[in-house]
Amino acid sequence: MVNENVSKIGVTNDLDVSKVKLTDVIDIDFLQKFQDDFASGVGIASVTVDPEGTPVTKPSRYIRFCEDYTHSTKTGDKRCAESHRKGGEDAARTGKPVVYECHAGLIDFAAPIMLEGRLIGTILGGQVLLGTPEESKYRRIAEEIGVDPEEYVKASHEARILSKESIEAAANVLYIVANSMSKAAYQHLKLKAVVSTLSDSAHQISATMQQLAASASTVSGNQDDLNKEIKNVNTVTGKIDEVMELIKDIADETNLLGLNAAIEAARAGEAGLGFSVVAQEIRKLSEESKKTVGKIKNLTTTIKESVDKTVNMGNETTATIQQQAAAIEEVTASVEEISSFTDLLSELANQ
């Protein structure tokens, strides 16, 4: 089972195994219950410690020989700590459970809890014997650590006698279960990290696609407005043509009037010479106006052709934008579907 309090190491895609602690990947309450039940069922004492030797569980089924006597003095307690340390180091070095005789003459074992080759904890157990205790040996140890020799010998007879094979089997069971728990929990953490990253990415992509869709809609609207303005240019150009036709008509009439004026001036003789000059200027003005009208008509024709091309290009652009907007909507829908899947994965990973 995974410990719910994993905020210390975080849930990121670059989950660093070197920072993972035993308490991050194993629910200590669950481990305590399993340890207690195993110790009661098999008749072997046990406790789980971190790599520094600090207990992370309460002792399970400690016998009176250890709890009331060996650990009751500083010397005995210090010797126990040193014995456990050496056993844990041997287990960490080999990566497998080790069975050894402790300083007080009992048989103990150390089952390492490994995570990708790194020690994150050790299950220490034992407090059993392989045969009938040698009383002289325990009297000597009692005197060394400062406890009553007779009571110490009496308590040694309470230790359960097991074969070495049974002790090794018990150590292997704890080793397999604890390591399976830690590996499964670590994989669960990595799954949460990947799902979290995937979910964040999906939401970011979805937000970006929505922004693109909004931008495409805005561009499409602007293009529509531009097309309307271009149509207005066409309308204005048409009106210019109408004005040019009117000017041309006026120029034709002016030219005709100038011609008539020149004729009348000729009839008048010398009296009409001044009027004849005016008539010529009027006719020149008329011709220049007609030429200007022609130039303007050429320009308006060019403008209309350019406008028509612009309208066609604008229509093509609008069509392309609409296609892009439709494609963006489809991609957004797909991303939102992926996002819903990542949310579901996240819920499953957090169970």
Tokens of 297: 């008509």
Residue 224 and residue 148 share a domain: no
Q: Please give the Cα distance from 260 to 211 (Å, whole number).
A: 73
Residue 101's DSSP bridge partners are 107
**DSSP letter at 71?**
G
State residue 346's pLDDT score. 62
Strands 160-161 and 118-129, sheet pairing: parallel
Residue 175 lies in a domain: no
Shared-domain flag, residues 157 and 204: no
Question: Residue 38 contacts by C-beta under 8 Å, 6 or more apart in sequence?
Answer: 44, 46, 60, 170, 173, 174
**12 falls within a domain:** no
Tokens of 246: 């009117």
For residue 106, which phi and psi values (nearest 5 degrees)? -90, 165
Query: Does residue 183 lie in a domain region?
Result: no
Query: Chunked in runs of 10, what are the mean pLDDT values of the chain (351 residues)?
Result: 45 64 89 93 92 90 95 94 89 93 95 90 94 94 96 95 94 92 81 70 71 70 70 68 67 64 65 59 66 71 73 71 71 68 61 55
Q: Indicate whether 149 and 265 sit together in one domain.
A: no
Length of the chain: 351
DSSP assigned state of 99: E
114 is a domain residue: yes
| Whether residues 23 and 156 fall in one domain | yes
Q: Of 162, 180, 208, which marks where a domain is finished?
A: 162
The total of structural domains in the chain comes to: 2
pLDDT of residue 245: 72
Contact 46, 124 (CB under 8 A): yes
**158 and 210 together in one domain:** no
**Structural domain ending residue among the three candidates 162, 184, 207:** 162
Please measure the distance between the N-terminal and C-terminal CA atoms of the chain and give it in whole angstroms: 10
Question: 225: which 2 tokens?
Answer: 């407005």
User: Which tokens in the block code for residue 61?
Assistant: 């089924």
Residue 239: give its domain's CATH number: 1.10.287.950
Is residue 72, in this structure, part of any structural domain at all? Answer: yes
| 11 in any annotated domain | no
230 and 116 housed in the same domain: no
Strand duo 118-129 + 45-49: pairing: antiparallel
Q: Give the model's pLDDT for residue 283.
A: 62
pLDDT at 6: 43
Instruction: Judge whether 64 and 154 are in contact, CB under 8 Å.
Output: no
pLDDT of residue 303: 74
> Which single residue is written with the structure tokens 């999906």?
202
| 153 and 246 part of one domain | no
Tell whether 191 is covered by a domain.
no
Are 259 and 308 in a shared domain?
yes
Whether residues 73 and 157 fall in one domain: yes
Q: What is the pLDDT of residue 165?
A: 94
**Which of 147, 162, 177 delimits the end of a domain?**
162
pLDDT on residue 112: 94
- Answer whether 149's CB lies under 8 Å from 142's CB: yes
| Residue 2 pLDDT | 44
Number of H helices, E strands in the chain: 8, 5
- Distance (Å, whole) CA 107 – CA 161: 10
Range of the domain at 309: 199-349
Domain check: are 218 and 333 in the same one?
Answer: yes
Would you say residue 167 lies in a domain? Answer: no
> What CATH code is carried by the domain that includes residue 36?
3.30.450.20
**Beta bridge partners of residue 124, listed in sequence order:** 47, 110
